Structure 1
Amino acid sequence: MKAYVAGVGMTRFEKPGTREWQYWDMVREAGGAALADAGISYNEVEQVPVGYCFQPSTAGQRAAYELGLTGVPVYNVNNNCATGATALMLARQLVEGGGCDCVLALGFEKMRKGALGAGADGGDLAASPVARHYGIMAARHGFAATPPTAQIFGGAAREHMERHGTTEAQLAAVAAKNHRHSVHNPYAQFRDAHDVDAVLAAPTVHRPLTRLQCSPTSDGAAAAVVVSERFAERRGLGGLTEIVAQAMVTDTAESFASGSCIDVVGQPMSREAARQAYERAGLGIDDVDVVELHDCFSVNELLTYEALGMCPAGESGALVESGATTYGGRWVVNPSGGLISKGHPLGATGLAQAAELVWQLRGEAGERQVPGARVGLAHNIGLGGAAVVTLLRAA
C-alpha cells in the first residue's frame, strides 16, 4: 500500500528562550497546522509517533494531548539528530503495512542555550551512547575543550582537506549558500545572508569550522500527516506527496574500522541508506530536483554530496563552488537554509525537511521555490547512529 503526505506544518525555528513557550505549545502549533493543511481533524488520526531528544518519557503524550484526547497510541521516539525522520518512517510503515490509514508524525525540541555536550543528553562522554565514536576521534585528533560535536566534524573536515585538497573556502561556500537560501524562509532561525569571506571571518568553533558553519541550538516543532491511498480517496484529499521510498541504516563495522572521522560521523551510513532508497524507488540522484540534507556542519554537506552520488569522492568542494547545488544549478540543496541557517531542534529537523520538500513539490515555497520540482530527497542523520534517506514525489 502506498503512503502519502497529506499535510505538513512547522513552527518557526528560534533561538532557545526567544519565546516563553513549552514544547507542547510548539506541537499544538505545528501539529494543528499539519492537520489543517491536510483538511482533517485529529479524531481521524489512528496513531502518533512523536520524536524528541531532551524531554522525559511520555513527553510525546503531553504534547499530542494538545491536539486531542482520543486515546490513540502514541510512540515516543528518540534517534538523536535523526529522530524526526525516524518518526516519519514509523508513520509510513504503519500506513504501508495496512495497519493504519491516517498517522500523524510529530517532532519537537526545547533546547538549552549553548553548544551540545557529549551527546543528546549533554552528559558525561564516557557514559554517552556515542563514546565509541568520540574515541575514534580522540585517537586520531586528540580531545579538546571545544564542543565535542564540532570536534568530530572538524576532524572530518581536516581529513577531507588532507585527503582531497578541499579548501576552507569550499567549506565556507556551503554555509554561504545556505545562509543565502534562508533569507526567503519565514521559518528560519537566521535570515541574514553571509558571503564566503564573512563565513571565514566568523569566530572559530573548532578548526576549520567557524560559527557560521555550525548549526545552532534551536526550539521548534514540525509535523506531517501520512495517509493511505484509500483514505485520501475516501476523504477527497488533494495536494498529496508520495513517499516513494525510505531507508534507514545504522552503523556498521565500516564506521569504525578505518579510524577516520569521515566514516565515524556517518558517510558510510548515508551512502548505504541512499543506495537502498534508490533501489526501492527505481530512481537515482539524477531524477532528483531538490534536496534537504543534514548540514549540521558545513563539512557534512560535502560528505553527503558524495554519499548520495552527486559527485565522486573528493570532488564535493568543487561541486559546491561550481554552483551546481543552488538555484540555476543541477540541484537545489537546502533551499530552506538547512540546519546551519534554518536551525536544528533535534527532534523536529527530519520532519521540517519533509515539510520543505512537500511545499517545494506542490509549488508552494514562494520566493525559494525550485522551478519544476517533481522529486525531492531528504537526508537526516544522527550520531550513535542512524541515517535516513527519503524520496518524495509529487502525486
Structure 2
Amino acid sequence: MSVRTDNRVTVAGVGMHPWGKWGKSFVEYGVVAARAALADAQIGWSEVDLVVGGETVRNGYGGYVAGATFAQALGWNGARVATSYAACATGAQALDTARARILAGLSEVALVVGADTTPKGFLAPNAGERWDDPDWLRFRLLGMTNPAYFALYARRRMDLYGATSEDFAAVKVKNSRHGLANPNARYRKQVSVAEVMSSAVVCDPLHLLDICATSDGAAAVVLCSPDYARRHGLVEAVQVAAISTVTPTFPNTVIDMPLLSTDAPPPSSPEGEESALCPSRNRTFKQSIAHAAYEEAGIGPDDVDVAEVYDLSTALELDWMEDLALCKEGEAEQLLRAGETTIGGRVPVNPSGGLACFGEAVPAQALAQVCELTWQLRGQAHGRQVDDARVGITANQGLFGHGSSVVLVR
C-alpha cells in the first residue's frame, strides 16, 4: 500500500470530562471536555468556526441538536454547527463531519464534542417500531438485551476457537491494570481472574465483571487544517489519517457471519488491495470497517503500534483484534495469553483501560478513544505509555449498521 498524506487533518487538542455517575446534565460534561481540548490546543474559542456535536437521544431536545447545544453553552461565537448520530460510532461520525469540511476548505478549526448522561441498567432501543432493524427485533421479539447478545459472541469464540471463561477474565484483568493510571477512568481498581470468575453470572458464560457499565462522561477533539497547523507551529502534531464509517454490504449483512468464505487476505497484502468503499464479499461487516480504514490511510495492520477497541464485553475485545487483522482468526487468545496485548507487548490493546474501566457514554466513547491515542502518540499517557507509539487505530460498533475505525499517526 502507498501511504496517503493528502487527506490528513491535524489533531490540535483533546480533552475529557472524567467518566462516572455524576447525575448532571450532559451539557456540563461536554463543556468541561471542550474547554480542556481548547486549552490543550492553545486555541481560543473565538477561533473555532465549526462545532459538531455527538447526538445523545436520551437527553431531550438539547441532545438531538447537540452541536447547537454545545455552541450555545460555550457562548455563541458565530461558528457553524452540525450534529451527528451513529449509536456507539457517533463520535467518529462527528469527527468525520468536521474533517470533511476542513478538507473541503470550508473550515479551519473545528471542535467535536460528545457527552452523555445515562440511565441505570441496560441501554434499550429508542421508542417506535422498526421491523427492519435487527437490534430492535432482538430487543422486542427475543427480549435479548446487550449482555445476552454479548454472551452469544462469547459462546461463539468458545465453540470456534477454544476460548475459555478464564481468557475472558484475563482481558478484564489486563484492562483493569491499564486503567489504574488513567485519571479519566471511572473504575480504577486492579482485579484478578478469580475475582472476575467469582462475580455474578449475568449471562453465561459472561460474569458481571466481563461486561461494561453505563456511565456519564464526555470527550472533545479540536481539529484544524494543515495550513492552520503550519501557521501555528503544529507540524509535529498527531494527524487523522483515516476515518471509516462503512456500512454492511449485501449479502453479508449479518455483523460477524459472512455468507461466503472468510479466507480473504489481510488488508496489508497486495492480493487484498481492492476498493474498501465496496468491500470484498468475503469480509464481515466489522472486517470491512477496518479494511476501509487501512486502505484510506495507506497502511496495514503490521504498522499499528496501539489499538483502542470496543470492549463492551471482554470477549468482544478478542473479536476486534481479529477484525482489525492484528492477528489471524482464532489467534487472539494466544496473543492475550502471551502478554502481547498488554503495555510492553507487541500490540497493546486498550491501554486506556477501555470500556471495562470507563463504561458506556455513547456519543463520547469513540472520541475518548481518539483522545487516548493522541496522548499515546504524543508520549503523554503517563503511567500507561506505549513506547515509541507512532500509529494507532480505534474500532467501534453501533446499532443498525453503524461502525467506525479511526487511524491516527504521528
Q: Select the residue among 72, 96, 99 that pairs with 1:65.
A: 72
Counterpart mapping for 1:299-378 below 5 A? 299-378=315-394
Letter in structure 1 aligned against 2:41: A
- Aligned with 2:395: secondary structure? strand
Letter in structure 1 aligned against 2:31: R
Kindly tell me: are residues 257 and 384 of structure 1, through their superposed partners in 2, closer, same or farther at Cα, counting changes over 3 Å? closer
Residue 43 of structure 1 contacts residue 68 of structure 1 at CA under 8 Å; is this kept in 2? no
Which residue does the alignment assign to 1:277?
293
Residue 28 of structure 1 contacts residue 64 of structure 1 at CA under 8 Å; is this kept in 2? no
Counterpart mapping for 1:139-288 below 5 A? 143=142, 148-237=145-234, 240-252=237-249, 253-256=251-254, 268-288=284-304
Q: Count matched residues.
A: 376
Residue 130 of structure 2 contacts residue 136 of structure 2 at CA under 8 Å; is this kept in 1? no
Percent identity between the aligned chains?
38
Residue 184 of structure 1 contacts residue 368 of structure 1 at CA under 8 Å; is this kept in 2? yes
TM-score, with length taken from structure 2 = 0.86
Q: CA deviation at 1:222?
A: 0.5
| Distance in 2 of aligned mates of 1:388 and 1:312 | 20
Q: CA deviation at 1:258?
A: 8.2
Which residue does the alignment assign to 1:132?
134
Residue 377 of structure 1 contacts residue 390 of structure 1 at CA under 8 Å; is this kept in 2? yes
| Distance in 2 of aligned mates of 1:302 and 1:128 | 31
- Aligned with 2:160: secondary structure? helix
Moved more, 63-72 or 354-363: 63-72
Moved more, 348-357 or 268-277: 268-277
Residue 43 of structure 1 contacts residue 70 of structure 1 at CA under 8 Å; is this kept in 2? yes
Which residue does the alignment assign to 1:3?
9
Which residue does the alignment assign to 2:279?
none
Q: CA deviation at 1:103?
A: 0.9
Q: CA deviation at 1:239?
A: 5.6
Kindly tell me: are residues 258 and 202 of structure 1, through their superposed partners in 2, closer, same or farther at Cα, counting changes over 3 Å? closer
| Distance in 1 of aligned mates of 2:70 and 2:368 | 17
Q: CA deviation at 1:257?
A: 9.0
- Describe the superposition over 1:78-111 as per-residue Cα deviations: whole angstroms up to 9, x where unpaired: 1111111111111112212222111111111111
Which residue does the alignment assign to 1:98?
105
Q: CA deviation at 1:68?
A: 2.2
Q: CA deviation at 1:151?
A: 1.2
| Distance in 2 of aligned mates of 1:207 and 1:64 | 45
Counterpart mapping for 1:50-89 below 5 A? 50-53=53-56, 54-55=58-59, 56=61, 57-89=64-96
| Distance in 2 of aligned mates of 1:302 and 1:257 | 15
Kindly tell me: are residues 255 and 372 of structure 1, through their superposed partners in 2, closer, same or farther at Cα, counting changes over 3 Å? same
Q: CA deviation at 1:73?
A: 2.0
- Aligned-residue RMSD, C-alpha: 2.3
Residue 136 of structure 1 contacts residue 256 of structure 1 at CA under 8 Å; is this kept in 2? no
Q: CA deviation at 1:52?
A: 2.8
Q: Give unpaired runs (5+ residues) of structure 1.
A: none
Residue 45 of structure 1 contacts residue 103 of structure 1 at CA under 8 Å; is this kept in 2? yes
TM-score, with length taken from structure 1 = 0.89
Residue 39 of structure 1 contacts residue 237 of structure 1 at CA under 8 Å; is this kept in 2? no
| Distance in 1 of aligned mates of 2:319 and 2:14 | 28
